[in-house]
Every structure is written in C-alpha cells, then in structure tokens.
Amino acid sequence: MTVSPGQIRADFSAAMSEMYRTEVPAYGTLVRIVEQVNAGVLDRDDNALALTPGEDTNRISAERHGAIRLGTAEELAMMGRVFAVMGMEPIGYYDLSVASVPVHSTAFRPIGREALAENPFRVFTSLLRLELIQDEVLRDKAAATLARRCIFTDDAIRLTEKAEAEGGLGAEDASRFVTEVLETFRWHPEACVDDATFDELIAAHRLIADVVSFKGPHINHLTPRTLDIDAAQAEMLAHGLPAKAIVEGPPRRACPILLRQTAFKALNEAIRFPVDGGWQEGQHTARFGEIEQRGVALTPKGRALYDQLLADVRAEILPAADGSNAADYVAKLEDVFKAFPDTWRELHDQDLGYFKYAPGNGAVKGEGLQALLDSGALTLSPIIYEDFLPVSAAGIFQSNLGDEARTDSQAASSRSSFEAALGKRVIDEFALYEAMQAASYTAALEQVNKGAA
Ligand code: OOG
Ligand code: NI
C-alpha cells in the first residue's frame, strides 16, 4: 500500500512547521496568534466570508506556505521531482527582476478541490539568475561555489527515484522521505564561502549572498493563513513582533480578494565563516515571519482591474520603507479600491471572481443562473486564491533585504529559460480556477435538477 501524495504533503508540512518553530521561536508566537484569531472568526457564525464548511474551514489550522531560493537549474529540476512526490506541481511564473530582485519563481502546490482541501501546502520557489551579476569574476566564483554543493541527501534522491519508478512510497519509505527532504530546508549557520567573498556577494545583491553562501536553500519563512489579517497584525505588534508598516495587497474589504500579506522583519543571525581550519563569527539576515489572508481568486478580468487600481495607487504614492507614509498609503488604497465591487454577487455577476456553486434551500423559481441564485436554489462560495502576487512578493523580498536594496530595473522576463531549467512547463493558474468553477456548476445544477424532478 502506498501513502497518498496528499498524506506525504501533510506530514511534510507539519514536520517543516515543527522544525521552523524550533529554528525561529517567533514563528510559534505567530502560529498561536493566527489560531486564536481564526477561532474567533469561525466562532462568529455569520460566515461573512462565505466559506464552504469543512472543505474551506478544516484546512485553516494546518494551512501555510513557505519559500526557498535555489541556485542552479539542476537544483530546481530535482526540487520539482521531490515536490511531485507530494502532489505539488509548478503553478504560475513570477518574474521578480521587474522589482530588482534577481530571481524568477513558481509556486509548487496541489491542484484540484480534494487535494487542496486535504492540505494546501505550497512553496514559493525562486531560482537565482546568476546572469544578472555584472562582475564576471564574481559571477564565475558564485557559479563555482554553487556547483560544489548538493542540497539533497542521498536518501532523498533515492526515495524520489523509487517513488517515480514504483508510482508511490510505502509507509516506512514515506516517513523516511519526509525526514530526508526536511534536511534540504534546514538552516546551517556555517557559510561555505569566506567573509570577503560573502561581502562581495552582498555588494552585488543581498539575495545572491543568501543563495550562494550556504549549504542549502534554508526555508526563509513559513506563513500561516489568517481569516482576519488586520486583527492578527495588531496582535503581532502587541506581542512585540516587528511587523511591516503596511499590509501588502488589496485593502481590507467585506469580500476579501486575492491575497493580503504582512511580515515581520528578517532576524539578525549569527553565522560562521571558514578561516584557516577554524571559524570566524559573522551576521546574516535570512529568515523572517509572515502571515496572510486569502480571498476569492480573480478572473483575468478581475485581475486586470486589480492590477489597474493598484498601479493607480502606486503612481500617486509608494509605501516608504520606514513606514512613515503608511496611513496615507492605506487611505489612498481604500479610496481607489472603492471602484472594485464588494459583494459576492457583484463579483460573481460581473465575472470578476471564481466561485463554487452548491444547491441551496430555496425552491427553483425562473430559469437560468441568475434566477437560481436569486431564489436561493443555488448558493455561491468563493474559490480561494491559492497563488501569489508578484508586487506583494517583491515588497516582502525588499522589506527583508534592508534599505540598501537596489531599485534599478533588471533584465527582461525569461519564462522559457525557467521552464527549461525546471524540465517542465509551469501550469496556468487561471485555467485551474476556471475548470474548478465549471465542474462545480455542472455538479450543482445536476443536484438541483434532481431535486426539482
Ligand atoms: C519569497 C517571497 C515571496 C510571498 O509570500 O509572496 C513570498 C522569498 O522571499 O524568497 O513568499
Ligand atoms: Ni511568503
């Protein structure tokens, strides 16, 4: 009997959470805050969020995403195979170079309603673009350093190959797989470059130093999902966690859309550089904490409206790194986003968001989708956005890179080179949401018709 990919994913996500709790104690505080806030929201039985009971609510307490940054094409390709054993596929392409961050990324996550309901764990996975290092000598040194490391244990590779060959893993292998893969994500304070090289890499870009200087792609944050991010942010500050000045993404709304995120700043951590058979003390900022609130997935039309409104806001005011204009930014954001409809029915009827349909208690009156919804014969529940937002991601990256983060723009988008490195295509997220909505409509309609017959 093989263990299901979903079960391996759930076990892995729990093991990662456990590890990160001991590595970064503030993460434990964050998880507790989020659990309390979520329990409070779920206890209020108004269900203003229109969540599907069970399917959308059971997963909340276990839900989180993480992020890693890889150095080479080979690392990305192997990572993709490892995630596939857990039922996680690459969804979407994110070009962060537009925000002066020299990486491009995808999100490995489960696909489909059942898999997402079972455990929605996802990992934002970035690949360093070494070609964006200007200095040729430094670029070669970075490439040579990366070429020397292997970020996977022998057993992680062996068990991945076994899962591929045999179509899954038995209980003992699955548990071993989780333990072995966890090693890739572990923090190692020992740098594998000397301090002079580290400083050169930092000068090229802090992120390059973070990727190149260590044994592996330490998980840099693990983000629980909250049902009320403003309440959770207030609690973070009350607990003395140094939260970012503003919540990234759309403003607070009655009907949440996409994704809102806030982080606490990266920790200053002690690291060690190799020197003459011994070690020399140093410092690095790598890991941070983040929370997020997820709302309805937007259609291309809804997403275009979101992008337009956010661009309108940012043309007038950009959030300052020190938080000094946070109140003005939030006021502007709320004002501009008044143009984005804020009831579930409007979002649905204007084709701005994706929804799940279910049979309701109302008797069928009239014909067509609108009539079924008006009479309550059909009900709506938002399809949760499972992906990421590049502008928010850039904001998160930047808030953790320090104030000297560069703002000049970088080379053009390179999706095909990312896919070549990964060894497969990234999947289009809109097509997934669209299919989920269509399937739920067909199924719900069938039930309504059966009931009416
Ligand atoms: C990834 C940042 C992106 C998010 O939530 O948008 C991300 C990173 O810093 O490596 O996790
Ligand atoms: Ni994140």
Instruction: Check whether 78 has a pLDDT greater than 50.
Output: yes
What would be the CATH architecture of the domain defined by 5-452?
A: Roll (3.10)
Are 429 and 387 in contact by the 8 Å Cβ rule? The answer is yes
Pocket test for ligand 1, best of 185, 221, 247, 387 (most atoms within 8 A of CB): 221
| Torsions phi, psi for 298 (to 5 deg) | -95, 145
Residues of the chain with pLDDT > 70: what percent? Answer: 94
Selection from 346, 411, 361, 418 nearest residue 102 by Cα: 411
Counting from 1 in the atom list of ligand 1, the atom nearest the Cα of 388 is 6
Instruction: Check whether 404 has a pLDDT greater than 80.
Output: no
What pLDDT score does 395 carry? Answer: 61
What pLDDT score does 409 carry? Answer: 42
Write down the ipTM of this complex.
0.98
What pLDDT score does 387 carry? Answer: 97
Residue ID of nearest Cα to ligand 1 atom 6: 393
Q: How many A from CA of 1 to the centre of ligand 2?
A: 35
Q: Averaged over 344-349, what is the pLDDT?
A: 98
Instruction: Check whether 106 has a pLDDT greater than 60.
Output: yes
310 backbone φψ class: left, alpha, beta (φ>0; ψ -120 to 50): alpha
Instruction: Check whether 408 has a pLDDT greater than 60.
Output: no
Q: Averaged over 371-398, what is the pLDDT?
A: 85
What pLDDT score does 401 carry? Answer: 59
Question: pLDDT tens across 197-254, in order?
Answer: 999 999 998 899 999 999 999 999 999 999 999 999 999 989 988 888 889 899 999 9
User: In the structure, how many helices (H) and strands (E) does the chain have?
Assistant: 17, 11
Q: Is the CB of 288 under 6 A from ligand 1?
A: no
Instruction: Check whether 1 has a pLDDT greater than 70.
Output: yes
Location of structure tokens 């430094």: 138
The encoded tokens of residue 381 equal 């529940």
What pLDDT score does 219 carry? Answer: 96
What pLDDT score does 173 carry? Answer: 98
Q: Is the CB of 124 under 6 A from ligand 1?
A: yes
Type of residue found at 308:
Q
33-42, 108-117, 295-304, 383-392, range with the lowest pLDDT: 383-392
Residue ID of nearest Cα to ligand 1 atom 1: 67
Residue ID of nearest Cα to ligand 1 atom 4: 393
Q: Averaged over 312-331, what is the pLDDT?
A: 90
The Cβ-side half-sphere exposure at 261, using a 13 Å CA radius, reads 27
For the chain, the average pLDDT equals 91
**How far, in Å, CA of 398 to CA of 438, rounded?**
38
Question: Buried (b) or exposed (e) across 274-312, using 16+ Cβ within 10 A?
Answer: eeeeeeeebebbbbbbbbbbbbbbbbeebbebbeebbee
221 contact partners, CB below 8 Å, separation of at least 6: 66, 67, 263, 287, 288, 289, 290
Q: Residue 8's pLDDT band (boundaries 50, 70, 90)?
A: very high
Q: Residue 407's pLDDT band (boundaries 50, 70, 90)?
A: very low
Instruction: Check whether 18 has a pLDDT greater than 70.
Output: yes
Q: How many A from CA of 81 to the centre of ligand 1?
A: 21
Q: How many A from CA of 433 to the centre of ligand 1?
A: 22
Residue ID of nearest Cα to ligand 1 atom 5: 393
Instruction: Check whether 398 has a pLDDT greater than 80.
Output: no
Q: DSSP letters along 342-392, please?
A: -SHHHHHHTT-B-EEEEE-SSPP-SSHHHHHHHTTSEEEEEPBP-S--HHH
Instruction: Check whether 269 has a pLDDT greater than 60.
Output: yes
What pLDDT score does 367 carry? Answer: 83
Q: Is the CB of 399 under 6 A from ligand 1?
A: no
Question: pLDDT tens across 244-265, in order?
Answer: 888 989 999 999 999 999 988 7
Q: DSSP letters along 299-355, please?
A: PHHHHHHHHHHHHHHHHH----TTSTTHHHHHHHHHHHGGGS--SHHHHHHTT-B-E
Q: Where exactly are the structural domains of the chain?
A: 5-452
Type of residue found at 328:
D
**How far, in Å, CA of 377 to CA of 171, rounded?**
44
Q: Which ligand is nearest to the CA of 126?
A: 1
Are 157 and 78 in contact by the 8 Å Cβ rule? The answer is yes
End-to-end Cα, the chain, rounded Å: 43
- What are the strands of the beta sheet with 64-70, ordered from one edge? 89-95, 103-109, 122-128, 64-70, 221-224
Q: Averaged over 59-86, what is the pLDDT?
A: 96
